[in-house]
A and B are shown apart, each in its own frame.
Chain A
Amino acid sequence: MAQASIKAKPDQSDATWKTRFQEWWFRNRALIGFAFIFPWFAGFIIFDALPFIYNLYLSFTDYQIGTRGVPPWIGFENYIEIFTDDKLFGKSMYNTVYYLGFSVPLRLIFAFLVALILNLRVRGMELYRTLFYVPSVVPLVAATVIFAGFLNTRYGFLNQFLVLIGAAPVRWLSSPDAIKPSLILLSLWGFGGQMIIFLAGLQGIPEDLYEAAAIDGGTGWHRLLYITLPLMTPTIFFNLLLGLIGGFQIFEQVFILIGTNGGPLQAGLVYMLHVYNKAFRDFEFGYSAALSVILFLIIFVLTIMLVYTSNRWVFYGDAQDDDS
């Protein structure tokens, strides 16, 4: 056998050797490729895939504190309880959607308008950009704590200012009507992040498009409507999607501003707070997992719907990207 193979080798042409080497090298490269993505992939299995599956499983069990061994399977009972018995489910969902319904569009509009103005290449634009952006750099915990003081009924700036100009002070964080507006106000303060993304998008619009429009006698309004806006739709879409996904998961601001109970009449009890309370206050992990699965499904369906409808209004005109 050994002799036969030795005999066989010289018969093979140089070309075969070359392809063999290439094949070996390709496999070697593939191994290197796998080695390079291995840490990420291990993390994906441990921190994404397995927890996701286990969470789904947990949502069908009655896992509570003190549950030993395999948690008892109860089918859809958690889900049935959520939809029929859990008053706080509806309440927290309402609060979250209320918050989203205002904060997401308002933040988009502010960010876009300010970016438009800053893109006019006015003198001192750098300074203004910094001033609008700095609040977004403030760590969320610090921003929230600052707002807790800023909105404080007696010692906060806002009420003292209202009194100064002769208006009535508002119990921003302790009256049920004002809690959600306060949260929206806090989220608006951080519109700078989206503004920067818009600004980068605006500066990427080719100048010659505007020049062509000017030659054709287009007014500023036309330029905005027929050039800027269509070319900015991918950026608007990006910001809208991330805003919605993030908005559904609002937690830290509320946790710090008004505590885990969600304030008076639970007007500030957002969905994540309900999930947190069920898991880490009541230790009903199975029930809480079911709540989290519902939130996941809502975000998932919403994302699919947005991506699906985006074909109609998002304009991917520039084909310069070679992305597959």
Chain B
Amino acid sequence: MIEDPRARIVRYFVIYTILTVGAIVMMVPLLWTVSTSLKTRDKISIRRLELIPDPVAWDNYPYLFEALPILQYTRNTMVIVVASLFGAWVPCTLAGYAFARIPFPGRNIFFGILLATMMLPYVVRLIPLFLFFDEIGWTRTFGPLILPRLLGHNAFYIFLYRQFFRGIPEDIYDSARIDGCSEFGVWWRIFMPMSRPVLAAVSIFAFSFAWNDFLNPLIYLGSNKELWTLALGLNALQGFEGEDNSLNLIMVFSMLMIIPMLIVFYFGQKHLISGVTAQGSLKG
């Protein structure tokens, strides 16, 4: 079929117009954030639209580090991130491996439980967990935030690993076992190195969920400023309508939270799709 060249041009024109307008609309809030983060204090209270800041207040960025304990917030957030990555790399892969490759009695039942917990809304665990951690004196500490993560308490990651591991040919597993490799050895020497896409995808999830977590730090660390994470610090800086004279600093802080996420996604982008969609894991 040969398309009429004029129809072709019209078609492309329509497509690119829709895409470009859509992309601009999507990017406007972010461009505005960058622009506001570089405005001086008296410029933000001008009620006229001004997209390019004049003068450009680069000082806002170092100033935020002086005004708020940003490094401390970052360190606290990283404690949670590291616990999350450890859980995603060790206990979760081991469980995924067992579900995919080791036949043990009741495996299907355990796997059913795993799937069921993915559907369990957080809200029914919120209050008992708070009362429990309060009882053992762990509120105002990192304990409630890192213990579940260290144990790899995430059914979604285990599920993704299991789906990926099932796609690794049986022959590879068998020959390794015949050569005298232990179950642990197969996991460490063969499955882990072969699973880079899914490891990368899960690592991105683990990083971003820990980096973005708000409700848990709010409940457990809200009253302990020493252990505040970036998300809590940003929330505290933000006032409700009416008291907006630090809008520029709020946007500086937002940028500090966004940039690491952009870097992580930039490097992991290609694995994110291949790791998650491989083996049809979305269809379960």
Contact = CB atoms under 8 A, between A and B. Distances in A.
Nearest to B104: A33
Nearest to B148: A47
Contacts of A199: 273
A303 to B, nearest CB: 6
Interface in A233-260: 234-235, 238, 245, 248-249, 251-252, 255-256, 258-259
A48 B155 CA distance: 11
Q: How large is the interface on B (under 10, 10 to 19, 20 to 34, 35 or more residues)?
A: 35 or more
A265 interface: no
A183 interface: no
Contacts of B95: 36-37, 39-40
Contacts of B114: 40, 44
Contact of B18 (A117, A135, A289): A117
Given A146-B254, A149-B247, A157-B49, A29 B241 contact: no
A320 B231 contact: no
Interface in B37-73: 44-45, 47-49
A292 B45 contact: no
A252 B232 CA distance: 11
B244 A155 contact: yes
A140 B26 contact: no
A321 B128 contact: no
Given A40-B153, A285-B131, A141 B234 contact: yes
Contacts of B195: none
A163 to B, nearest CB: 8
A275 B132 CA distance: 18
Interface stretch (A73-81, A84-92, A99-107, A126-134): A126-134
B244 A122 contact: no
B98 interface: yes
Contact of A132 (B23, B32, B276): B23
B120 interface: yes
Contacts of B124: 51-52, 55, 292-293, 295-296
A286 B18 CA distance: 52
Given A37-B98, A128-B19, A296-B124, A47 B129 contact: yes
B224 interface: no
A164 B45 CA distance: 16
Q: Chain A: interface secondary structure?
A: helix
A275 B153 contact: no
Nearest to A39: B91
A183 B283 CA distance: 30
B144 to A, nearest CB: 10
Nearest to B122: A249
Question: Which of B98, B148, B211, B261 counts the most A-chain CB atoms under 10 A from its CB?
Answer: B98
Interface residues of A, number: 97
Given A39-B151, A155-B44, A200-B273, A30 B103 contact: yes
A257 to B, nearest CB: 9
Given A149-B250, A285-B131, A154 B47 contact: yes
Given A131-B27, A235-B282, A50 B49 contact: no
B261 A137 contact: yes
A78 B54 CA distance: 58
Nearest to A285: B127
Given A29-B183, A50-B128, A142-B254, A150 B235 contact: no
A122 B254 contact: no
Contacts of A36: 94-95, 97-98, 102, 183, 187
Interface of A: 26, 29-34, 36-37, 39-44, 47-48, 50-52, 54-55, 58, 114, 117-118, 120, 122, 128, 131-132, 134-135, 137-142, 145-150, 152-155, 157, 160-161, 163-164, 173-174, 189, 192, 196-197, 199-201, 204, 214, 234-235, 238, 245, 248-249, 251-252, 255-256, 258-259, 272, 275, 279-280, 285, 288-289, 292-293, 295-296, 299-300, 303, 316, 320-324
CB-based closest 6 A-B pairs:
A33-B104, A43-B153, A36-B98, A33-B102, A51-B128, A39-B91
25 contacts: A36-B98, A40-B92, A43-B148, A47-B125, A52-B128, A55-B128, A131-B26, A134-B262, A135-B27, A135-B30, A137-B258, A141-B212, A141-B235, A145-B234, A146-B30, A149-B36, A150-B33, A152-B244, A155-B44, A196-B272, A200-B282, A238-B282, A249-B123, A279-B126, A280-B219
